[in-house]
A and B are shown apart, each in its own frame.
Chain A
């Protein structure tokens, strides 16, 4: 399924074949031949050593020497083997260079943004943006770039963050609350804000993003290290297998030249996965970047594939942020239409989503639209003190607001709220809704039922997660009953109600104590401890600076459901490694059948100079011993560039359960890995054998 979420702005995938990327990658693949680079990759290092030895052997042969280890290998054969071994190393370097190249192109775009700006300090002086330190306070008027990462401490403004998020619509940033963080390099488009800088020089969000996509500080992740060890162990086995084959051959009267032994060794060691391993890791981070998620470490990406429990905030993630009017509940003796009309009138000037939803609902009750100015009504806005809003119309006061506020108002005016009111207020609260009482002067007319609206498609998404083996927990400040109801409606597995930041932290610790990996999203400052505690903490870019620093990933789109995609990318990363390892090892079977009969072509023949009994193992019917060995080596080299796209794209993850997934991948990469080289080597041999002149 496509996990594309609404609100996700997939960055333009930078094509593999942009000219400058290709050029640079090619150049890098030669530069990376430096043994100091290769030594970090034991498999390819062995190939490089093999390339050097075969090249030296060829040079010796050219000046008239004999091939090392005896045999009657002609110089051209040694040359061809050496040539393809070098190509194998270069192809491996190319895979890494391509993966890095894409990141680097993105980094260049970002770097272009990091223009040198001059910051206006609050005291009127100016300072170069690059010299700003934590605690500096700057003023940013409309039209200017924000000089560094910080928190808005005064004012409200719209900010164009398209430079880093790709989203062109400006966002609101204001002091206090959860939308106070601003990012250096973004532009204020209206008003003026005062920002307290929270970064040290050179360590801005943009700087981190650049180093990240460039892969400059890439460290091997734990799983990558473990896999590398396994590959090294396999390499070691094959070194011994090949090294002992020489005395075995001599015992059987068959000297095997060093060139051929090296060719066999390179064919056997897991070069395919060895060549692509680092590219897979880089590409994983790159795939997240393209989904507008910045993982601050490769470790976090890997961990996201292991997530067992997902904590999701109710508001904004499971429900759309606002509650909407769903029902008018009139008091006894009040006609429903009367309540609807008053509710509508009191909401006409109310631009909040709740207010607008009341007008929409009233329309369904057949109330025609009114116009504030025609009615000469006077709007009374909501304040934290009155906790109600409404209009004054023809001397009558129409109000809607919190139940207790309305009761107090009515009582003060000399009216008496009907006993039915409290019962309705309680009922709606119990059912997970929010009641708004409606009053006209000193008479309570009824209650508006505001309901949480669950986002579309949440149930499907939770089913999807369940199939991935991930448990979802909704976190909300609502009471238990409300939470239970929303949890049931949305299909989330579990919930935490009346959640405080401490309760959230406690829940994470408890899950981790049971050995589970926990992921969560958060934006507020009070989310920071939980974000830091979670194994995968995704901070919303729109959130506070504290949250962004506590998490190990930042979602530039501030889309909390993106965790699902993050988990998929993490899983893909591991699957790709496993699949290519399996493929690489499975390939060896065919290579044995190609190379060994070629080596032992006359071994223990019944008559001198006759065919070895082992010739029946040449089941591919390869043309000649030399073309068989060359074909195996060419296949071994060519398979690397052929698989680069797969390594960069990643093997697709399907939430079909672990067993089915394993079966599928074993079939494709295990069985396929056994069969594919038989076909590939045979085809190459057809060409090579012809070129060699039959």
Chain B
């Protein structure tokens, strides 16, 4: 551990918080229809889009109508993306946007990939640079990076509207929310982000891949592509699907320590801002601060454990008598699978951020983390996307937990539990309970199927038949069910003998199971969340009194953390025992 390591972490949190408060205020204005700085520029395009989409933006939708629009939109997006990816080489001639003439990946891998990008998961069985044409990356995958992020955010906005709704059933208008999200929130930040990244050396071109001759006389192919624009939205939309296989460890995706810091901010800025937006929209900013405190405590706990564990080094290093201390210039600790330019703090922080959120980008190899450090991504995923989580997803997931915590805690102060003045009754408990259940249940079921069946075991790497194989499988389905997308390398769904997909085939079981898990664990909670919003929207509000449980103070933060950890731990403890915990205890490096 180094001073500068800790300083990076502290600095990051301070800057993030300051930016998120400002963005939260901005977003609250956007979604309540107030005038913002961009209004003069964007109002025109906004109106144009409504005309094209043929929607009446001001017409409120109840939860069912809102959900229907969302499902139709996502389904259409799914079909379009599937078509694009499957016709990547329709004309069998190389062209500017498919310079290497890549064929399409097989149907099963494509099913998985499409489901993955439409659900904001960005789980990748494929490697971008050997599978996708520039066209597929740009108008296929990147477009879904935008749209799936937008869908996540509008669900959170709709839930907040339901919570604060004073009358009627309207949750707002899906199309209006989506258009505003993209124009007013995602676009300005990703344009800025792309420019910053390009300035640091992230590439943006349509060149052929370069061939380099190395000093040892070998040749090396250097992949090219329109990376910067995809990189910005990949981080901002907590998508995480890298342009290249090694994701944010690649120098063209994440060239410097500065871009590393910047990309981390991009990932967390919207999830953090949404929390402050929630506070503002409820009319009590402390509500937002309480949730921010809750997730920040859990986040910092995870970062600290990961950093300390990695800086401490692996048992193998200690056994071999290698120095693991910081000695003049050498960082010490476990550097396997980490990029020198990010260092241990920059890697621990980055991978914690991308696993607490649903981003899933990585800048180091999680499978090369120490036993305890590697348990952090597992435990982050076990918390079901509530620690910041994906854009929108994080807020609505934690709000479902808030509802549950209010119910249990509210009873203990001797009143029918009330949340911001609304009484919680059977219907909300049923919907929120199911909403919380979906993700863990999908993860456990899928892991069980995958470990119990021959078809499932086929995906496990040769090296990992023991606890490692279990960890790989568990992580794969935890990641996909949380719509995260990061991977614990080794778990395969795609066999690709050579670049360009000729002769490649997918592992149907893993591809389909993963794809279905992603779809189920994305749209199940979304529908249940919208239903919760609908149930809350029409409720009468009781003014708070001395006897009302507060949801904006320290006691509630403790209660909420307790509920989240307890539910997550009780659900996943047995499974984690057989994978990461055994590995951690035996001191094996993953």
- A: residues with CB less than 8 A from B are 222-223, 225-227, 229-230, 233, 236-238, 240-241, 243-245, 247-252, 268, 302-303, 305-306, 308, 466-471, 514-517, 570-572, 574-575, 577-579, 581-582, 585-586, 588-589, 592, 596, 600, 603-604, 606, 612-614, 616-617, 653, 657-659, 661-663, 665-666, 669-670
Contacts and interface: CB of A to CB of B under 8 A. Distances in A.
Q: Which 5 A-B pairs have the closest CB atoms?
A: A469-B547, A578-B411, A571-B414, A233-B433, A469-B546
A577 B415 contact: no
B416 A305 contact: yes
B321 interface: no
Given A244-B575, A578-B409, A613-B585, A469 B433 contact: no
B412 A666 contact: yes
Interface in B411-428: 411-416, 421, 424-426, 428
A44 B570 CA distance: 20
Contact of A308 (B451, B545, B549, B586): B545
Given A229-B430, A600-B578, A658-B550, A469 B425 contact: no
B127 interface: no
Contacts of A237: 437, 440-441, 567, 570-571
A226 B426 contact: yes
Contacts of B466: 604
B411 A658 contact: no
Contact of A250 (B425, B452, B586): B452
A662 B557 CA distance: 12
Contact of B585 (A222, A227, A575, A616): A616
Contacts of B408: 230, 578, 581-582
B566 A585 contact: yes
B546 A603 contact: no
Contact of A582 (B412, B421, B469, B574): B412
Contacts of B421: 515
B573 interface: yes
Contact of B424 (A226, A247, A592, A617): A226
Nearest to A466: B546
B528 to A, nearest CB: 12
A268 B558 CA distance: 23
A252 B542 CA distance: 53
B586 A230 contact: no
Interface of B: 404, 407-416, 421, 424-426, 428-430, 433-434, 436-437, 440-441, 444-445, 447-449, 451-452, 466-467, 469-470, 540-543, 545-550, 553, 555-556, 558-559, 562, 566-567, 569-571, 573-575, 577-578, 581-582, 585-586
A606 B470 CA distance: 17
B549 A604 contact: no
A606 B429 CA distance: 46
A487 to B, nearest CB: 19
B549 A227 contact: no
B434 A233 contact: yes
Contacts of A572: 414
A248 B474 CA distance: 10
Nearest to B409: A662
Given A229-B433, A661-B414, 10 more contacts: A233-B434, A244-B447, A248-B574, A251-B452, A572-B414, A586-B566, A596-B573, A600-B578, A604-B466, A662-B413
B574 A658 contact: no
* Most chain A C-beta atoms within 10 Å of own C-beta, residue among B429, B543, B571: B429
Contacts of B449: 247
Contacts of A243: 448
Given A237-B440, A578-B410, A670-B562, A248 B555 contact: no
Contacts of A589: 566, 569-570
Contacts of A606: 586
A601 B540 CA distance: 54
A50 B569 CA distance: 24
A302 B416 contact: yes
A268 B547 CA distance: 32
Contact of A251 (B425, B470, B540): B470
28 contacts: A223-B416, A223-B425, A229-B433, A230-B404, A233-B437, A236-B437, A237-B571, A244-B447, A247-B452, A248-B451, A251-B452, A306-B415, A469-B546, A514-B543, A515-B540, A515-B541, A516-B543, A517-B542, A571-B415, A596-B573, A604-B466, A604-B578, A658-B547, A659-B553, A662-B412, A662-B559, A665-B412, A666-B412
A241 B437 CA distance: 11
A666 B547 contact: no
Contacts of B410: 578
Contacts of B416: 222-223, 302-303, 305-306, 574
Nearest to B541: A515
A302 B467 CA distance: 51
Contacts of B440: 237, 240
B542 A515 contact: yes
A249 B577 CA distance: 11
A236 B436 CA distance: 12
B437 A469 contact: no
A227 B540 contact: no
Contacts of A305: 414-416
Given A230-B404, A603-B578, A662-B559, A579 B570 contact: no
B546 A658 contact: yes
A26 B543 CA distance: 46
